[in-house]
């Protein structure tokens, strides 16, 4: 009965507030001259719709990855047929989804059945010509020892949120996250403030040859990356997404052959022990750390490194003095040091060892990637990714350097301020390579946030001369 006695009072209050809003309690209605809620900027409302949609694309991620994994794309150096099958599937996917068609740059290669190595450029136009470019590679690494895999490396395996298969991380995560973002924008008829592009190149594992992949593309399209564009290479990173890789050490691989004279080990004075002389030379090479001692706190370790790695002995017999000893050195170089300087220093040490140990030593350069300037930590692309990571992952990312090599070095050498970033565990060369669907969707959402970043749209362009970005510091 009490309810019926109270109800007329409630009804009266509702009527009163309806005709005289200023009588309403603050929890029921807004004060006079104040909106009921703070209106959201139109661009941010569109972004939120896009983010919500991307978050629902688990099935699409799995479908894309299944098709990519089924097309191995091994380099001919690894006994494979190249990237043609994978490139053709991506072209078919773009057509099926009504997405912009790829510009294709084929580089001749008689070693593969297709006789060409494909490179794809896909650009989704936005309101501005300024473009966020995601640079990924089409090829995959060999699976290694198949007995270490659970199932076939070329058949996608799904366990909860985790997917397994060769290439799912290296570098399908770049391809998939880019395609997911493009497909979502097209399906929702979204024109982002910035344009969005995918550059998918061949021969990622052997990019330093510069013959078939990104370097070959840029020889045909030197104007591809324009001042003002943002370039991200999702090829290295950490699981938390907190590493912003702004610089890479230069790379020098040396093959060193020490030649002596093989004899029976019972009469060592009759020969020249190449293994013994080689060991002494390796000890001498430790002095390179003192000679090339410049430090850069962005890197871990903060110095250049000079490491003997692969070793080949010319003698398998225990009772023989080896007449040949071969080893390789992996050198990772900070600026201002160059491969020529380091190789010259190695040659000087080898000359001294020849005289001391009565051996002949050859020093052969196998691979080189030049040391390039670091992308400034306040560069537009660095700060844009940092803001997007903070918004999406609630993580404060920081600029660091790496001793690993990616195609970003080629771009920095051309004066392009590029960032290497990925939210990955680093399983790309391991058996049972894997990544979570959640991580792939997070990457796609982070790229979407950059496209709608208001600080990016009005920022000045960088200068292509000497890798000196003119981009401001960001916030």
Asked if the structure places residue 124 within a domain, the reply is yes
Q: Which residues of the chain fall short of a pLDDT of 50?
A: 1-40, 465-475
Which has the closest alpha carbon to 291: 334, 227, 259?
Answer: 334
* CATH number, residue 343: 3.30.70.360
Judgement on whether residues 419 and 360 belong to the same structural domain of the protein: no
Judgement on whether residues 297 and 421 belong to the same structural domain of the protein: no
**pTM to 2 decimal places:** 0.82
Judgement on whether residues 202 and 161 belong to the same structural domain of the protein: yes
Judgement on whether residues 364 and 380 belong to the same structural domain of the protein: no
Judgement on whether residues 295 and 423 belong to the same structural domain of the protein: no
Asked if the structure places residue 20 within a domain, the reply is no
Provide DSSP, 217-256: HHHH-TTSS-TT-EEEETTS--TTS-EEEEEE-EEEEEEE
Which has the closest alpha carbon to 107: 221, 223, 208, 211?
Answer: 211
Asked if the structure places residue 14 within a domain, the reply is no
Judgement on whether residues 204 and 96 belong to the same structural domain of the protein: yes
- Compute the distance between CA of residue 328 and CA of residue 256 in angstroms, rounded to an integer: 6
- Compute the distance between CA of residue 393 and CA of residue 443 in angstroms, rounded to an integer: 10
* CATH number, residue 432: 3.40.630.10
Judgement on whether residues 257 and 325 belong to the same structural domain of the protein: yes
State which of 369, 398, 423 marks the end of a domain. Answer: 369
- Per-residue pLDDT of 410-433, as tens digits, reads 899 888 999 999 999 999 889 999
State which of 348, 369, 390 marks the end of a domain. Answer: 369
Asked if the structure places residue 340 within a domain, the reply is yes
Q: Which range of residues forms the domain containing residue 270?
A: 250-369
Judgement on whether residues 399 and 423 belong to the same structural domain of the protein: yes
- Beta strand 195-201 with 131-137 is parallel
Whether 371 contacts 461, CB under 8 Å: no
- Compute the distance between CA of residue 155 and CA of residue 157 in angstroms, rounded to an integer: 6
Structural domain tally of the chain?
A: 2
Asked if the structure places residue 35 within a domain, the reply is no
Judgement on whether residues 263 and 302 belong to the same structural domain of the protein: yes
Asked if the structure places residue 397 within a domain, the reply is yes
Q: 381: helix, coil or strand?
A: helix
Judgement on whether residues 356 and 396 belong to the same structural domain of the protein: no
Judgement on whether residues 255 and 322 belong to the same structural domain of the protein: yes
Which has the closest alpha carbon to 222: 212, 214, 230?
Answer: 214
Buried-exposed string 34-69: b where 16+ CB fall within 10 A, e elsewhere = eeeeeeeeebeebbeebbebbeebeebbbebbbbbb
State which of 338, 369, 400 marks the end of a domain. Answer: 369
- Per-residue pLDDT of 161-220, as tens digits, reads 999 999 999 999 999 999 999 999 999 999 999 999 999 999 866 666 568 999 899 999
Asked if the structure places residue 263 within a domain, the reply is yes
Judgement on whether residues 269 and 301 belong to the same structural domain of the protein: yes
Place of tokens 């190149």: 201
Asked if the structure places residue 376 within a domain, the reply is yes
């Amino acid at each position: 009965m009490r309810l019926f006695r109270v109800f007329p009072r409630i009804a009266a209050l509702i009527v009163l507030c309806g005709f005289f809003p200023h009588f309403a309690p603050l929890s029921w209605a807004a004060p006079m001259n104040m909106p009921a809620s703070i209106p959201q900027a139109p661009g941010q409302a569109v972004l939120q719709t896009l983010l919500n949609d991307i978050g629902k694309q688990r099935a699409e991620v799995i479908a894309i990855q299944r098709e990519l994994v089924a097309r191995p794309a091994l380099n001919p150096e690894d006994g494979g047929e190249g990237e043609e099958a994978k490139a053709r599937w991506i072209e078919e996917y773009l057509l099926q989804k009504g997405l912009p068609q790829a510009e294709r740059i084929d580089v001749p290669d008689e070693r593969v059945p297709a006789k060409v190595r494909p490179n794809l450029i896909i650009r989704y136009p936005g309101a501005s010509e300024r473009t966020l470019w995601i640079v990924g590679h089409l090829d995959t690494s060999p699976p290694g020892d198949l007995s270490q895999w659970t199932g076939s490396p070329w058949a996608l395996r799904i366990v909860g949120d985790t997917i397994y298969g060769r290439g799912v991380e290296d570098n399908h995560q770049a391809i998939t996250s880019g395609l997911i973002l493009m497909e979502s924008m097209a399906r929702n008829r979204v024109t982002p403030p910035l344009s969005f592009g995918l550059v998918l190149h061949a021969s990622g594992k052997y990019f330093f040859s510069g013959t078939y992949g990104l370097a070959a593309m840029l020889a045909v399209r030197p104007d591809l990356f324009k001042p003002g564009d943002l370039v991200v290479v999702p090829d290295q990173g950490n699981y938390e997404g907190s590493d912003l890789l702004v610089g890479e050490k230069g790379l020098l691989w040396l093959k060193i052959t020490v030649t002596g004279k093989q004899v029976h080990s019972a009469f060592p004075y009759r020969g020249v022990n190449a293994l013994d002389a080689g060991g002494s030379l390796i000890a001498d090479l430790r002095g390179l750390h003192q000679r090339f001692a410049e430090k850069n706190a962005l890197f871990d370790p903060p110095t250049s490194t000079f490491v003997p790695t692969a070793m080949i002995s010319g003698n398998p017999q225990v009772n023989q003095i080896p007449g040949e000893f071969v080893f390789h050195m992996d050198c990772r170089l900070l600026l201002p040091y160059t491969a020529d300087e380091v190789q010259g220093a190695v040659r000087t040490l080898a000359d001294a060892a020849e005289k001391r140990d009565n051996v002949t030593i050859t020093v052969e350069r196998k691979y080189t990637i030049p040391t390039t300037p670091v992308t400034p930590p306040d560069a537009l692309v660095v700060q844009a990714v940092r803001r997007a990571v903070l918004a999406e992952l609630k993580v404060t990312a920081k600029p660091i350097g790496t001793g690993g090599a990616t195609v970003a070095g080629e771009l920095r050498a051309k004066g392009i301020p590029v960032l290497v970033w990925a939210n990955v565990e680093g399983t790309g060369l391991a058996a049972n390579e894997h990544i979570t669907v959640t991580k792939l969707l997070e990457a796609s959402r982070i790229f979407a946030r950059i496209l709608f970043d208001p600080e990016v749209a009005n920022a000045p362009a960088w200068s292509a001369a000497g890798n000196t970005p003119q981009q401001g510091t960001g916030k």
